Structure 1
């Protein structure tokens, strides 16, 4: 036999053995595990102030727990207390059981026993109560699609759906409106 034939046979056998060995030693596919998504960061017992595009206060937040979602960059908060500035220098206070802040920090959502009060400096003592509310600090607006109660000295207004201009302290109810005048006690 020719040496070229022997070389071809040896190389073919070596290739077959190498391929078979590689096939036996191939890695098992990595199992993808899914678990709870971990927060980007967590803050406990904190106070933070968010600034708008002009570097002025957009809102201030106090809460016992804040967590940021790493993929969406949104923030969830337990029992938040928001301070939203108004043009006259005071702050609206809004609290609830749960809170959410959009990735751009331009939308605040409050859920569960929402209570909102007007600034003390404004001269009008307004208290709003509902189950869900959205606050837009950039435009100084708040709104809710839920049943809302507005209490102020001498009157109580209830209705479903409401929009509030926080700067002017004007509110508009959308439906099922009831108003009751409550005389002040002397």
Structure 2
């Protein structure tokens, strides 16, 4: 047999062994791939109205992006704008950088540059500014554990921790409260 024949047989044997080896390894590598987690759905530039357990409006929401948290029914929001009705049907307007909504719409957590404006029709409109605000739409309440600034016509308040009743507009600062009255700005 010539050297070309021997070389051909060796190349053929090598090709068969490498093909068999690759075929055997393909069976085991397919099951070891990591599972990718994806959101169940994603909304962009949307308007949404969430209802409470009685079928009444809990809040209205606009945002550039909403996605459902993988493995849960909670929602993650980018730059949300909430409209939360009070008992008279007037609406608080609440904005933030990010937001999270519980699966039952009972709690909304807002983070980053949060502003909450009372209804313009309120007797004495107010604005709250903070970095964290938790809103409970069905109870018409809001809370914060961090620094909160509250501005009303003619006065400003600042404190750590806050509780607010959105139906009555009553805002209670919990500690380290500072108050400034400026009657000329009325």
TM-score normalised by length of structure 2: 0.82
Question: Structure 1 residue 70 and structure 2 residue 70: aligned?
Answer: yes
Tell me if structure 2 keeps the 8 A contact 1:86–1:140.
yes
**Residue range with higher mean Cα deviation, 117-126 or 131-140:** 117-126
Give the distance between the partners of 1:173 and 1:97, measured in 2 at CA: 23
Structure 2: how far apart are the matches of 1:185 and 1:86? Answer: 27
| Partner Cα distance (1:110, 1:78) in 2 | 10
Deviation of the 1:123 alpha carbon:
2.3
Alignment check: 8 A CA contact 1:88 1:122 kept: no
Over the residues paired in the alignment, what is the CA RMSD in angstroms? 1.7
When normalised by structure 1's length, the TM-score is 0.82
Does residue 33 (structure 1) correspond to residue 42 (structure 2)? The answer is: no
C-alpha displacement at 1:185, in angstroms? 4.1
Give 1:34 shift: 4.2
Q: Deviations over 1:98-135 (max 9, x none)?
A: 01001111100100000000001222210000000000
> Gapped runs of 5+ residues in structure 1?
1-24
Q: Which residue of 2 aligns with 1:184?
A: 184
1:13 maps to which residue?
none
Between structure 1 and structure 2, the one with the greater Rg is 1
Alignment pair present for 1:46 and 2:43: no
State the number of aligned residues: 162
* Displacement of 1:38: 1.1
Specify which structure has the higher proportion of helix. Answer: 2
Structure 2 Cα separation of the partners of residues 28 and 38 of structure 1? 25
Aligned position for 2:120: 120
| Partner residue, 2:108 | 108
Could you tell me which runs of 5 or more consecutive residues in structure 2 were left unpaired when the two chains were aligned: 1-23
Of residues 176-185 and 142-151 in structure 1, the stretch that sits farther from structure 2 once superposed is: 176-185
**Deviating runs (4+, > 4 A) in structure 1?**
none
SS at 2:183 equivalent:
coil
CA distance, structure 1, for counterparts of residue 123 and residue 46 of structure 2: 30
Determine whether 1:133 maps to 2:133: yes
**Alignment partner, residue 152 of structure 1:** 152
Distance in 1 separating the partners of 2:136 and 2:126: 19
